[in-house]
A = this chain, B = another copy of it.
Amino acid sequence: MQIYNPFKKFNRPKTVSGVFNETEVELANRNSGMPLESLEYDITPIGQHYLLTHFDIPHINKNEHILSFSGDFSNPYSLNCDEIKLLPAETIPVTLECAGNGRTGLDPRSFSAPWKYGAVGTSEWTGTLLRPLLKKAGLKSDVVEISFTGADRGYDSGHEHNFARSLTLAQVEELDVLLVYQMNGIPLLPQHGAPLRIIVPGWYGMASVKWLTEIKALKKPFDGYQQVGTYRFRQSKEEVGEPITEMRVKSLIKPPGIPDWTSRKRLVSPGLITLTGRAWSGGGKKITKVEVLSNNKWVEAKLINQNSKYSWTKWMLDWSAKPGHHILSCRATDETGDTQPVDPIFDVGGFANNSIQKVEVFVNDY
């Protein structure tokens, strides 16, 4: 009998629409989504932000942790956590979404974390800006990329590695990358990257490396698995594909009324109710419009406030709930005119599905 060994290179199992196996269920449970009722909050409460943990959550002693600036810097150095806290601090509210959010809407579906809508959240991240730290380290003239390596180690598709990602010099210059040690006013929790991580505002979550141990200057483009083997837009597995970067424009409805425990379908009393939700886009782009679909008509919602460049925008719309069965959807547009498609754009890895959400609602007649 041949033993299935997940640590050798292998092809992921084929998936069937609407049917999942136990491994996917376990991934769904380990990697928790934000409950959609928490679209209520500007800042997602602690413990409700989505979590995607590729390997195990490392258990790191903050007092012994060192961040090294290594590779092709002219002045490589390292910092401990106390030294980083003495640097100028910034707090930025940032909406982060997992690149795999919406994967279950694609067919065939990539065999990975089976996200539906919940892989999103907004937190206030506190830390210090990365740019001055790189400047201090001194980039040699032929450096092209900076890589970020975490303490988390494991296998993905037969490749053993620490989770690591890179940014080009142009990206580091353009993005407000933050070296973070606090979230929502408390020290980073283990599952969010304690004691140190980066946040790359405006991008999908994979760029925001957790449990950060090393920042390295590279003379060649980084070829780590999480950079070149996945997180790329591809129509087939054979393609090299284009790297995934900024979040696509997206919006969600806070499901109205009360739920059914298992199906999560909603019961609403008839009459006027206020629908509400959140909309966001990548790269700090403003949301300019949110529309709600009801009875085959798109109706424009009121936009409330975007409390910072990188955090989601609240929207509200009064809706006259009439007895019967309804599917509610919403659709956001950003300042560049990008909007959400009704049907998903196919990607073989199941990435960046920003097609419209569907919320099933029954309005009772009593």
Contact = CB atoms under 8 A, between A and B. Distances in A.
Interface of A: 3, 5-7, 12, 18-33, 35, 37-38, 40-41, 45-48, 51, 53-57, 59, 104, 111-112, 114-116, 118, 153-157, 160, 186, 189-192, 255, 258-265, 267, 325, 362, 364
A161 B233 CA distance: 46
Q: How many monomers of this protein are in the complex? A: 2
A325 to B, nearest CB: 5
A22 B116 contact: yes
A59 to B, nearest CB: 5
A21 B155 CA distance: 27
Contacts of A57: 35, 37-38, 48
Contacts of A22: 18, 20, 104, 116
A116 B155 contact: no
B25 A260 contact: no
B46 A189 contact: yes
Contacts of A190: 38, 45, 48
Contacts of A25: 20, 24-25, 28, 104, 114, 116
B262 A111 contact: yes
A258 B152 CA distance: 9
A98 to B, nearest CB: 11
A154 B118 contact: no
Contacts of A153: 258
Contacts of A260: 6-7, 154-156
A118 B30 contact: yes
A41 B191 CA distance: 13
Nearest to A34: B30
B47 A189 contact: yes
Contacts of A157: 261
A118 B29 contact: yes
B55 A261 contact: yes
A115 B28 CA distance: 10
B12 A262 contact: yes
A286 B364 CA distance: 51
A259 B46 contact: no
A157 B260 CA distance: 8
Contact of A267 (B114, B155, B255, B267): B155
A270 to B, nearest CB: 14
A259 B115 CA distance: 20
| Cβ-closest 8 pairs across A and B | A32-B32, A47-B47, A6-B260, A28-B28, A37-B56, A28-B29, A29-B33, A156-B261
Given A40-B59, A262-B27, A191 B18 contact: no
Nearest to A30: B35
